[in-house]
Amino acid sequence: MRRYFLTLALMTATLAASAQNMYDAFSFSDVTYGGTARSIALGNAMTAIGGDLGSLTLNPAGSAVNSYSQFSITPNISVSSIKSKGEYGLTDETSSTHTRFNLYNTGFVLNFDNHRSSGLRNYAIGFVASSTGNYLGDIFATGRNGYTSFMGAMAAGADGFTSATLNSSDAWYGSDAPWNQILGYQSGMIATYGGRDDQYVAATEKVYSSGDIGLAGDLEQEFGRFTRGSRTDFLFNFGANFSDILYVGGNLGLVAIDYSMDQYIKEEAVNPADFGITFDDGRTTNFTSARHRYAYDAEGSGVYAKIGVILKPFAGLRFGAAIQTPTAVSIRENYQMDGYTKFSESSLNASAASPSDNEWEYRLTTPFRFNLGAAWTIGRWGFISADYERANYGSMRFNVSGDFSNRSYFDDTNADIRDFYGHSDAFRFGVEIRPTESLALRGGYAIETNPEMFENEAGYMGYYESGKKALSFGIGYSSRGSFFSDFAFRTTSLPDLYTLPYADYINDTLSPEIHSTRRLNDFTVTIGWRF
């Protein structure tokens, strides 16, 4: 089921150069809370706690919990570690580690005291920029393959399109041919054979006397996918405190998404003598290597609203709840692919690239989500807290924008989203202990279930077990004056990733599948002032 699921997404993506498959909908909709060092150390179990700029993303009522104003800034260093190993090719074990500096949270809250003993005692306004997504991650895989090739899959996908179509000057925009196949033909990766102009063989293949096509020899393959970017929420906040019992608040949230991906696959002949090629004009040569590259950039902006409450029915006990509307995101993307093929006779080398001015805009609606929290405070000595959050990713929807005429363009993709995604549940726990008035020790744990669904033979719909798991701890210092500082470390185990560099194209023969295990380590510091 896993292989079918990913193959489906891969084949959808190859119909056009741009993305817009159900995985992209999830990437842009998924939320990974950054926050302040304090909220991160507490596992972001802050729905019922408030009082910290990191809590406002979770519950806007938190701005009114304290009677003072505050400003803080939270720089962060993220370290992404990924281990990969493939099956059916690309079987070498590889690992990659990359580091990035981020600004996880910054902003201020201004608190206004009404000098009342009951009723509206104080209210707060604030502005916070907080990270809600980190796209840092690289996949790298290598290995020897004697059964399939990327170019073989490309040739199989080109059958039925004439060479005149693939090689025409307006092929990229003036035909319905997939861009992969246009690039493959124009860069020498695939060519016609057998006297027909609509059937293809790859430079890595040979045609046997029986008419069957197969790989000519062993290939050294290399695959890489490098992703960068972030999602940031800009919050305009209002909160109010009623009698130190009920706190209410609201956010107007603006979302900014910045995402880039650079992906390539390279194939090199182990023994070029195995890969003899004869062209129609009688020239002969041997395939030596080829490389295909796909670059994709996306920028998105959106808006949502969130309301929340915190209730303190009696000393020590707190409850919190918040509801966030779906986010309407407008996405603008740009993409390009290029490739080359090299032969033993260098004069026959070929290369090609798609047009570079490929911009397209569309809309995405992300899920409605809600969260609940409870906490028990123990005087000045600390507290324990727990949160629950749910989002239904099956409600994600793509929509065309502007004057794009095909209003049903995303119908199939949206159907895939409904069929293969469901809800995700997050559980977060935190504890803070204050051994002295100025020192705080913190710990947290969070787990989030995977929203991808599967169907077993009995027709029962279930969920993949692999989700996010995060363990965190931290320390905080608060001076007798206005200055405070916090540190947090968080290690997050991300869901295992299964990648198909190219689709299966030979009966009873599987193309490579890369299994990647991923971990993200965050080192976060907050410095701030109360006034």
pLDDT tens, position by position, 192-202? 998 889 999 99
- Residue 8: the pLDDT is 37
How far, CA to CA in Å, does 274 sit from each of 205, 271, 288, 350, 506?
10, 6, 10, 20, 20
Measured distance CA(383)–CA(47) in Å, rounded: 13
* Predicted pLDDT of residue 7: 38
Ramachandran angles phi, psi of 456, nearest 5°? -85, -175
Point out which residues pair with 105 in neighbouring strands. 74, 130
Query: Is residue 6 exposed (0-12), middle (13-18) or buried (19+ Cβ within 10 Å)?
Result: middle
Alpha-carbon distance of 493 to 76, in angstroms, equals: 18
Q: Residue 263's CB: how many other CB atoms inside 10 A?
A: 18
pLDDT in tens, 376-414: 999 889 999 999 999 999 999 999 987 777 888 999 999
Question: CA-CA distance, 500 to 498, in Å (whole number)?
Answer: 7
Cα 281 vs. chain centroid, distance in angstroms? 48
Residue of higher predicted confidence among 6 and 333: 333
Q: What are 86's two structure tokens?
A: 């493939």
Q: Is the pLDDT of residue 3 over 70?
A: no
Instruction: Give me the helix-helix angle, 411-420 and 2-14, nearest 10°.
Output: 160
* Neighbouring C-beta atoms of residue 86, cutoff 10 Å: 25
Q: Is the pLDDT of residue 499 over 60?
A: yes
Q: In this structure, what DSSP letter does residue 273 have?
A: G
Q: Mean of the pLDDT values across residues 477-497?
A: 96
Q: What is the pLDDT of residue 21?
A: 86
Residue 449 above 90 pLDDT? yes
pLDDT-derived band at 18, boundaries 50, 70, 90: low
Lowest average pLDDT, out of 139-148, 428-437, 448-457, goes to: 448-457
**Measured CA angle at 86 (ends 84, 92), to 5 deg:** 70
| pLDDT tens-place string over residues 109-168 | 999 999 999 999 999 999 999 999 999 999 999 999 999 999 999 999 999 999 999 999
- Provide the pLDDT for residue 200: 96
The span from the CA of 86 to the CA of 501, in Å, is 10
End-to-end CA distance of the chain: 57
Q: What is the mean pLDDT of residues 15-34?
A: 80
From 304, 299, 278, 302, select the one nearest 207 (Cα to Cα).
Answer: 278
pLDDT at residue 2 above 90?
Answer: no
Q: How confident is the model at residue 17 (pLDDT cuts 50, 70, 90)?
A: very low
In the chain, pLDDT over 70 holds for what percent of residues? 94
Mean pLDDT of 232-248: 98
pLDDT given for residue 376 in this prediction: 98
E strand map for 180-316: 190-192, 200-202, 205-207, 213-215, 219-242, 246-269, 276-278, 284-314
Task: Note whether 177 and 142 are within 8 A (CB).
Answer: no
Mean pLDDT, the chain, rounded, equals 93
Which helix (H) or strand (E) segment holds residue 171: the answer is: helix 171-174
- Check residue 19 and give its pLDDT: 52
Helices 150-158 and 179-186 sit at what angle, rounded to 10 degrees?
110
Question: What would the pLDDT profile of 287-319 be if each residue is shown by its tens digit?
Answer: 999 999 999 999 999 999 999 999 999 999 999
What are the CA-CA distances from residue 1 to residues 25, 86, 109, 462 (Å)? Answer: 20, 17, 49, 12
Band the pLDDT of 14: cuts 50, 70, 90.
Answer: very low
- The pLDDT score that the predictor gives to residue 20 is 76
Confidence of residue 348 (pLDDT cuts 50, 70, 90): very high
